[in-house]
């Protein structure tokens, strides 16, 4: 048997041989795992990064920030299970401050967020490798359409 025959890739199944829910769950699980591994080096979870990212534009309340996270993300990480718990950890870390009910990034949080944004951008490039911009836009548009079909509304 030749060397090329010994190292052949197994035949790939057609993506449509699995249910849509299979691929959505698979991608979400792998994405969460990969993002959490990368963000852990910076002391963050995926949910905490998304909260910090939402705060780059303006201070927001717990309620507003809860809408910034997909329903399942707040409790998807090990550790904090609610948006409030994630926010409390970020305050304890010195990355956020509270003024009444509003959360704001500190200068440390903003600087750290900029560093983490570069890591997240690298991850996005790795995750979408092999997709051109049009394919990426098609995937995103299709996912948004399915979410709307299932009752999601942009808040």
**Mean pLDDT of the residues in the chain:** 86
Q: What is the mean pLDDT of residues 110-116?
A: 94
Tokens of 64: 């507003």
Is residue 77's pLDDT more than 60? no
Q: What backbone torsions phi and psi does residue 76 show, to the nearest 5 degrees?
A: -80, -20
SS3 for 114-136 is HHHHHHHHHHHHHHCCCCCHHHH
Is residue 41's pLDDT more than 80? yes
Protein fold of 40-129: Arc Repressor Mutant, subunit A (1.10.10)
pLDDT tens profile 93-108: 999 999 999 999 999 9
- pLDDT above 90 covers a percentage of the chain that reads 65
Question: Could you tell me the pTM of the whole model?
Answer: 0.71
49 neighbors 124 (Cβ within 8 angstroms) = no
Nearest CA to 117 among 34, 39, 36?
Answer: 39
Domain ranges of the chain: 40-129
């Amino acid at each position: 048997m030749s060397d090329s025959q010994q190292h052949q890739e197994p035949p790939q199944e057609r993506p449509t041989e699995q249910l849509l829910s299979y691929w959505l769950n698979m991608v979400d699980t792998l994405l969460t795992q990969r993002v959490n591994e990368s963000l852990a080096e910076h002391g963050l979870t995926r949910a905490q990064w998304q909260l910090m990212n939402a705060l780059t534009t303006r201070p927001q309340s717990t309620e507003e920030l809860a809408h910034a996270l997909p329903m399942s993300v707040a409790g998807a990480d090990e550790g904090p299970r609610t948006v409030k718990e994630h926010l409390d950890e970020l305050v304890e870390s010195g990355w956020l401050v509270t003024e009444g009910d509003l959360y704001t990034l500190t200068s440390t949080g903003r600087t750290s967020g900029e560093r983490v944004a570069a890591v997240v951008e690298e991850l996005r490039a790795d995750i979408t490798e092999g997709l051109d911009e049009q394919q990426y836009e098609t995937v995103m548009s299709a996912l948004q359409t399915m979410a709307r079909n299932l009752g999601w509304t942009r808040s």
